[in-house]
């Protein structure tokens, strides 16, 4: 008889391509993962994985069985949702991945309020600017900036009209003056973000239907967006940031918007998950809470709309 735990471990090991990673995610010893796979293989009378000291991959039979294993787990999950009482729906563990700056400045208070509202729910939040793979990483949903053109997963718009804005501290502006056009930025100290090894030092602005792209002088670079924001507040240079990330600092006077007549590029915020069946009541309620919080931000500064 096939054990549910073995089936779950098989699906995660296949997604992660690693017994040790699957064990780490489940909080068990790697030997237990290996034993679970062996039991499954014995029950099915097939070999699920081709193993070597350096490589782990599904066999052709394993690839076929993986589809049915996922269907069985999905069916079980759907069945549990049908028989659970409403007061028990918002429980369990919800694993969420968020960009570092967005998570710490805006979403952490939302997460805290959400957890207090649903005390039976446990939140596991991953703060990172690395792009999360919702199929392989141990997360249920991820909040991600950018235009989503991958149809392999579900993307729900949170703040589709969000834009980048050019900001600096009042102290920096007093010392260096305000840029009047994108061309002025090439002569000013810029704080640039690095993602997947790529330096984002070409900033785009538009006004009256005309778009300009300028190469900036990067004096500080970081792969952590929160570090860039802190450097801007400290007066180290100008930053090209998502309005969501800096709106609170602008309201509090720590940063000010430069070149308000120019619009920065769009950086829509979306919530993504692997497939529609993972849109559980907890996920939908969290989406609504985050969306409500973001909608208040877009109304506070008209220069990021349209």
Distance CA 242, CA 3 (A): 47
- Retrieve residue 88's tokens: 């028990």
Q: What is the pLDDT of residues 164-210, one digit of tens each?
A: 999 999 999 999 999 999 999 999 999 999 887 789 999 999 998 89
Last residue of a domain, one of 49, 83, 117: 83
pLDDT tens-digit series, residues 92-108:
889 999 988 888 888 99
46 and 34 housed in the same domain: yes
Question: Are 192 and 57 part of one and the same domain?
Answer: no
Same domain, 169 and 258: yes
* Residue 280 and residue 155 share a domain: yes
CATH number, domain at 70? 1.10.10.10
Asked if 23 and 66 sit in the same domain, the reply is yes
- Claim to verify: residue 251 and residue 292 sit in the same structural domain: no
User: Residue 56 belongs to what domain range?
Assistant: 4-83
| pLDDT tens digits, 231-285 | 999 999 999 999 999 999 999 999 999 999 999 999 899 998 877 767 888 898 9
Is the same domain home to 259 and 170? yes
What's the structural domain count of the chain?
Answer: 3
Kindly give the pairing relationship between strand 269-273 and strand 154-159. Answer: antiparallel
Cβ atoms of residues 218 and 153 within 8 Å: no
Q: Which of 83, 101, 134 is the last residue of a domain?
A: 83
Co-location of 171 and 251 in the same domain:
yes
Residue ending a domain, choose from 31, 63, 83: 83
């Amino acid at each position: 008889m096939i054990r549910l735990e073995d089936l779950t471990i098989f699906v995660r090991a296949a997604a992660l391509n690693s017994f040790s990673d699957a064990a780490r995610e489940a909080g068990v010893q790697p030997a237990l993962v290996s034993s679970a796979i062996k039991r499954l293989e014995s029950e099915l009378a097939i070999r699920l994985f081709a193993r070597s000291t350096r490589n782990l991959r599904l066999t052709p039979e394993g690839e076929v069985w993986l589809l049915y294993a996922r269907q069985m787990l999905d069916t079980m999950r759907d069945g549990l949702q049908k028989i659970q009482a409403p007061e028990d729906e918002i429980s369990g563990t919800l694993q969420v991945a968020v960009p570092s700056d967005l998570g710490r400045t805006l979403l952490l208070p939302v997460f805290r309020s959400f957890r207090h509202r649903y005390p039976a729910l446990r939140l596991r939040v991953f703060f990172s600017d690395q792009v999360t793979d919702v199929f392989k990483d141990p997360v249920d949903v991820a909040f991600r900036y950018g235009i989503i053109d991958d149809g392999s997963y579900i993307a729900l718009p949170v703040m589709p009209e969000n834009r980048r804005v050019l900001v600096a501290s009042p102290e920096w502006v007093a010392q260096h003056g305000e840029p009047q056009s994108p061309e002025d930025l090439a002569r000013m100290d810029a704080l640039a973000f690095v993602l997947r090894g790529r330096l984002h030092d070409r900033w785009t602005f538009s006004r009256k239907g005309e778009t300009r792209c300028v190469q900036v002088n990067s004096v500080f670079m970081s792969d952590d967006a929160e570090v860039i924001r802190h450097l801007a507040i400290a007066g180290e240079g100008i930053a090209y940031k998502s309005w969501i990330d800096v709106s609170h600092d602008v309201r509090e006077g720590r940063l000010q918007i430069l070149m308000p007549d120019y619009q920065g590029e769009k950086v829509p915020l979306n919530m993504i998950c692997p497939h529609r069946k993972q849109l559980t009541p907890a996920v939908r309620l969290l989406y609504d809470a985050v969306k409500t919080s973001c909608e208040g931000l877009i109304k506070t500064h008209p220069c990021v709309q349209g």
